[in-house]
Amino acid sequence: MSAAPATQLLPLVKDVERLEARLKEIPAEPGVYLMRDATDGILYIGKSKKLRNRVRSYFRDRQRHTDRIAMMVRQIVEIEFIVTDTEAEALALEANLVKQHQPYFNILLKDDKKYPYVCITWSEDYPRIFITRKRRMKNERDRYYGPYVDVRLLRSTLGLVKRLFPLRQRPKPLFKDRPCLNYDMGRCPGVCQQLVTPDDYRKIVQKVAMIFQGRIGELSEVLTEQMEQAATELNFEHAAILRDRLRGLEALHADQKVSLPDDTVSRDAIALAADDKHCCIQLFQIRAGKLVGRLGFFAETNGAEPGAILQRVLEEHYRLVEALEIPQAILVQHELPEGEMLADWLSDRRSRKVTILTPQRQLKAELIEMVERNAQYELERTQRAADRNTQALQDLADLLDLPDLPRRIEGYDISHIQGANAVASQVVFVDGVPAKQHYRHYKIKNPNVRSGRSDDFASLAETIQRRFRKYADDPRRLRHGDTDFPDVVLIDGGKGQLSAVVAVLENPSEAPLLDDLKVISLAKQREEVFLPRASQPLTTEPEQPGVQLLRRVRDESHRFAVSFHRQQRLKQSRRSRLDEIPGLGFERQKQLLAHFRSIDYIREASPAQIAEVEGIGPRLAQEIYNYFRPSNESP
């Protein structure tokens, strides 16, 4: 059932009459519901065996909602629903719709940056393989494997994979017209110069994907068969390469996996540990008696039963994996409220029977207990980190005399080499934790800051002016509680740097913001904290929690600034002078250099000589000639 476009309508929570009428239209049958916002975008897609009861719950007992759900409910303008015959059909339909639309609020993890994933970009001709902490599918053909709990083990595994298989080793080519040393060493098939066809390269990546799918045994059988065939055909060099890959896989399988009691069945085991607000979920992937993967999830409890939480985790997890990754059996810590429906859906996807069990004794129960212990340790670690963050935020609030705990802290720093390639960084900590999705960098545009002439004060002033310009243009944003507005702004430096920033924020022509911002600076040598217009630093101890938090923000802003500066410096070092000539692209540059052999010869050539190069017309030849002679001397 479809609804009319909701562009001009108020949120349902503000239009009680329309809300009640809409709820009465929703039947008490199995199906899927879609929440839409004022732009007709989909906020959330869910399923239920009784649509009316489930949808009505969003607008009842709203004080029990988490912040994320409460934010979503305030934006709901329209509700659509699709009725199905069974709950299993509703689950399958929900999975397809979520995969198609990827709504913002269909996120299982409270913090999707907690655990890393491996991403393979199957949407590209030459797929990339990399580790990321963001599971945001820009293309539905891309695949994410994880989330993995042990990031060190994951990096080690990926490093070994790149040594075993010829894969692209760099995100961008090192050279424009030739492969790098990795090609000569046999570690890359020459992707940058397309020396391998997309189909052949994808076959290599498909084998790598089998490792992250827990199919190492199956991959070993494939490689063994290929090795024997190569030996039969007397292609001993290729057979030796396959033999080395097999040995590497055996080392990966033996050294980095945990052997479990005698078991030949592929199964997943899932358990959780919870407190009043949050729960940590662990999912162990067991293939042929080996623990090949340990995945972690972090969710809000919100008063839900443990079985319901596990049910939702399994639905979210198996919705995103390929059918061949679904195991024969799933062991769960608690009885699932809709376990039979989930088993039917998974069996249908896998085309083979999938069993969901709640073991009570013997080896399977011991396996669940081991998973639960790991979940408990992870929960305790998370709690300790949260307690440390809360303590640091409270200490910082006391130190700066803030009315509440600072939720958003922004740090700024400048990086350059004697004024060259000057850049600035903006890092953001939310609730004491880096929020890298909000990081920003700035290229300094001040013409007075250039090679041989640096000015950190002017650079910081420019950065702050650009960052808060939108509030000067529209001061009402402050009164509406903009979530991007920081509680604390930290400047890396001493009184001089702080004074330059204060001058910008108290400028009457820029709608002064100094009264609304808590701006401080942290000097490096003695870790001293300065406030605006204060001649002396605050009385602090270098190791007190609040100062340690400021140091983490300062160090992160410094790291981010230096990283971006190095990137810009490297990019400039690789640029050719020919890049600065308008209309002269890469192919024409290659033709010019092939004809004249060096830029010095191009500089000495006449427009007529330049025009002799294929693809270079008289007008472009004149522009190239004039570029090397700014005074436009006649030939």
At residue 433, does pLDDT exceed 80? Answer: yes
- Round the average pLDDT of the chain to a whole number and report it: 82
Instruction: Read off the tokens for 422.
Output: 């000057």
Report CA-CA distances (Å) from 240 to 186, 235, 521. Answer: 13, 9, 61
pLDDT at 478: 55
pLDDT tens column, 458-467 = 999 999 989 8
Nearest to 76 by CA among 26, 101, 28, 40: 40
Q: Over 41-62, what HEC string results?
A: CEEEEEEECCHHHHHHHCCCCH
User: In whole angstroms, what is the distance from residue 94 CA to residue 465 CA?
Assistant: 46
Nearest to 118 by CA among 155, 72, 170, 160: 155
At residue 248, does pLDDT exceed 70? Answer: no
At residue 221, does pLDDT exceed 80? Answer: no
Walk me through the domains of the chain, giving residue ranges and CATH numbers.
Answer: 12-101 (3.40.1440.10), 117-259 (no CATH), 267-318+327-341+352-381 (no CATH), 408-477+484-562 (3.30.420.340), 577-627 (1.10.150.20)
pLDDT tens column, 110-158 = 544 567 888 888 888 888 888 887 766 667 788 888 777 777 777 877 8
Cβ(131)–Cβ(116) under 8 Å? yes
At residue 409, does pLDDT exceed 80? Answer: yes
At residue 634, does pLDDT exceed 60? Answer: no
Q: Where are the alpha helices (DSSP H) in 190-332?
A: 198-212, 216-232, 236-255, 306-319
Report CA-CA distances (Å) from 77 to 4, 375, 482. Answer: 11, 38, 22
Strand order in the sheet with 129-132: 129-132, 117-120, 143-145
Average pLDDT in the 596-613 region? Answer: 84
Report CA-CA distances (Å) from 72 to 58, 66, 308. Answer: 10, 10, 21
Nearest to 149 by CA among 279, 284, 311: 284
At residue 475, does pLDDT exceed 70? Answer: no
Instruction: Read off the tokens for 83.
Output: 């009725």
Q: Hunting for tokens 């880096």 — which residue is that? A: 434
At residue 479, does pLDDT exceed 90? Answer: no
User: In whole angstroms, what is the distance from residue 409 CA to residue 433 CA?
Assistant: 10
| CA angle (517 as vertex; 513, 523 as ends), nearest 5 | 120
CB-based burial label for 509 (10 Å; 0-12, 13-18, 19+): exposed
At residue 559, does pLDDT exceed 90? Answer: yes
pLDDT tens column, 483-492 = 688 999 999 9
Euclidean distance between the first and the last CA atom of the chain, given in angstroms as a whole number? 75
What confidence tier does 578 reach under pLDDT thresholds 50, 70, 90? Answer: confident
Percent helix, percent strand, percent coil in the chain, to nearest 5: 45, 15, 35
pLDDT at 172: 77
pLDDT tens column, 26-85 = 888 888 999 988 888 888 888 888 898 889 888 887 666 766 778 888 889 989 888 888
At residue 526, does pLDDT exceed 60? Answer: yes
At residue 325, does pLDDT exceed 90? Answer: no
Q: Which residue has the higher pLDDT, 480 or 310?
A: 310
Identify the three-state secondary structure at position 613. coil
Average pLDDT in the 306-328 region? Answer: 86
pLDDT at 392: 92
pLDDT at 476: 59
pLDDT at 7: 43
At residue 6, does pLDDT exceed 50? Answer: no
At residue 373, does pLDDT exceed 50? Answer: yes
CB-based burial label for 21 (10 Å; 0-12, 13-18, 19+): exposed
Lowest mean pLDDT among 300-304, 397-401, 493-497, 576-580: 576-580
Average pLDDT in the 17-22 region? Answer: 87
User: In whole angstroms, what is the distance from residue 265 CA to residue 363 CA?
Assistant: 13
pLDDT at 2: 43
Query: What share of the chain has pLDDT > 70, as a percent?
Result: 88
pLDDT tens column, 251-262 = 555 544 455 555
pLDDT tens column, 174-215 = 777 788 888 888 888 888 888 889 899 998 888 888 877 777
pLDDT at 138: 67
What confidence tier does 555 reach under pLDDT thresholds 50, 70, 90? Answer: very high
pLDDT tens column, 80-99 = 888 888 887 888 888 778 87
What confidence tier does 568 reach under pLDDT thresholds 50, 70, 90? Answer: confident
Tell me which long-range contacts 440-443 makes (C-beta under 8 A, separation of at least 24): 440/467, 441/560, 441/561, 441/564, 442/466, 443/568
The phi, psi pair for 4, rounded to 5°, reads -70, 155
pLDDT at 62: 67
User: In whole angstroms, what is the distance from residue 210 CA to residue 139 CA?
Assistant: 21
pLDDT tens column, 278-315 = 889 999 888 777 777 788 888 877 777 899 889 988 98
At residue 1, does pLDDT exceed 50? Answer: no
What confidence tier does 576 reach under pLDDT thresholds 50, 70, 90? Answer: low
At residue 405, does pLDDT exceed 70? Answer: yes
| CA angle (593 as vertex; 587, 598 as ends), nearest 5 | 155
Lowest mean pLDDT among 11-25, 134-148, 442-456: 134-148
At residue 414, does pLDDT exceed 90? Answer: yes
Q: Which residue has the higher pLDDT, 513 or 481?
A: 513
With a CB cutoff of 8 Å and minimum separation 6, the contacts of 422 are 414, 415, 416, 443, 444, 449, 454, 459, 565
What confidence tier does 269 reach under pLDDT thresholds 50, 70, 90? Answer: very high
